[in-house]
Amino acid sequence: MTREKKVTKKELRQVFWRSFALQGAFNYERMQNLGYAYAMIPVIKKLYDNHDDQVKALNRHLEIFNTTPAVVPTIMGISAALEEQNANDPHFDSSSISAIKASLMGPLAGIGDSLFWGTFRVIAAGIGISLATSGNIFGPILFLLLYNIPHLFLRVVGLKLGYSVGVNSLERIQKEGLMEKIMAMATTVGLFVVGGMVATMLSFKTPLKFNINGAKVVVQDILNQILPNMLPLLVTFAVYWLMKKKVSITKLTLGIIVFGILIHWAKIL
């Protein structure tokens, strides 16, 4: 009877710090795999003494991997728990470690992107930019704080929960529809903020004026009476529509620069 092998706080702390370097060796073939394997090394060293087991474990974590970096500590926590089971139970099916990793990276990337990319970053940037446009240095600072407080919180808690509660709880959460609820809430707030930003941060007014029988008609005033910020709304949806028509971002950007010069020259904007 050999004593039970166990991952301790020390290894988890090492995994936590190493998880930041996830994309350090990003490559097109297997993407974040090298960063993932690097983060798992402390766990592998702790759990396996045998050369063959170490090779197998390293290879498992060198498989293709790609997800939102913010959620990766959660998956690493689960991997650590599974490796621990594998090290202690000779009947454990080690291929399930890879299978679970692969099955988690998709859904968690979805939730990670909508939470961090679509919500926290948008809110943080929106507030940061609104200060920074007047040159206030608290703009960038607030941006970093508002984004990174929830970001680092999820990294710490995710790793702990991933290791202690494991994959079962994630499956339960998914079955109960909690993931979808969180995503729906994140999307709601994200859309609110983007709507607000279109109204407050896209600023252009047309100087167009007409003289009809001596009466001055200011086009911008008429537009404001129909709907304030109507032009920014129309421009945003025009670009969105072009994007849906598969016009590339680079073409859109360059096109807008040329368009801006032309309509300024034509004195429309």
Partner 1 sequence: MVAQAIMLGVIAGIGILDGRIFGVLMLERPLVTGLLVGLVLGDVKQGVMIGAQLELIWMGIAGIGASTPPDVVTGGILGTAFAILSNQGAEVALVLAVPIAVLAQSLGVLVRIINGYFLHKADKYAAKADFRGVTLMMWIPPFLFFLSVFIPTFLAIILGAEEVKALVNAVPETILGGLKVAGNLLPAVGFALLLDMLFTKKMGVYFFLGFLGASYLGLNITAIALFGACIAVIVNLLVNNQPKDGQARDVNYNNLTEGEIDFD
CB of 254 to partner 1, least distance (A): 7
CB of 126 to partner 1, least distance (A): 4
CB of 214 to partner 1, least distance (A): 30
Distance CA 143, CA 117 (A): 13
Q: How many residues bind partner 1 (CB under 8 A)?
A: 119
**CB of 1 or CB of 200, closer to partner 1:** 200
Torsion angles phi and psi, residue 268, rounded to 5: -90, -35
Q: Build a one-symbol-per-residue string for 83-122: x at contacts with partner 1 by CB under 8 A, - elsewhere.
A: --------------------------xx--xx--xx--xx
Nearest to 76 by CA among 44, 110, 119, 45: 44
CB of 233 to partner 1, least distance (A): 6
Under rule CB under 8 A, residue 133 binds partner 1: yes
Q: Please, which of residues 233-262 interact with partner 1 by CB under 8 A?
A: 233, 235-240, 242-244, 246, 248-250, 252-254, 256-262
Single residue of 155, 162, 163, 170 touching partner 1 by CB under 8 A: 155
Q: Please, which of residues 187-206 interact with partner 1 by CB under 8 A?
A: 187-204
CB of 28 to partner 1, least distance (A): 6
Contact status, residue 19 vs residue 163, Cβ threshold 8 Å: no
**CB of 210 or CB of 237, closer to partner 1:** 237
Single residue of 14, 98, 151, 165 touching partner 1 by CB under 8 A: 151
Q: Please, which of residues 16-75 interact with partner 1 by CB under 8 A?
A: 19-31, 33-35, 37-38, 41, 44-45, 51, 54-55, 58-59, 62, 66-70
> Which residues make Cβ contacts (< 8 Å) with residue 232, sequence separation at least 6?
198, 199, 202, 203, 204
**CB of 54 or CB of 220, closer to partner 1:** 54
Under rule CB under 8 A, residue 172 binds partner 1: no
CB of 169 to partner 1, least distance (A): 20
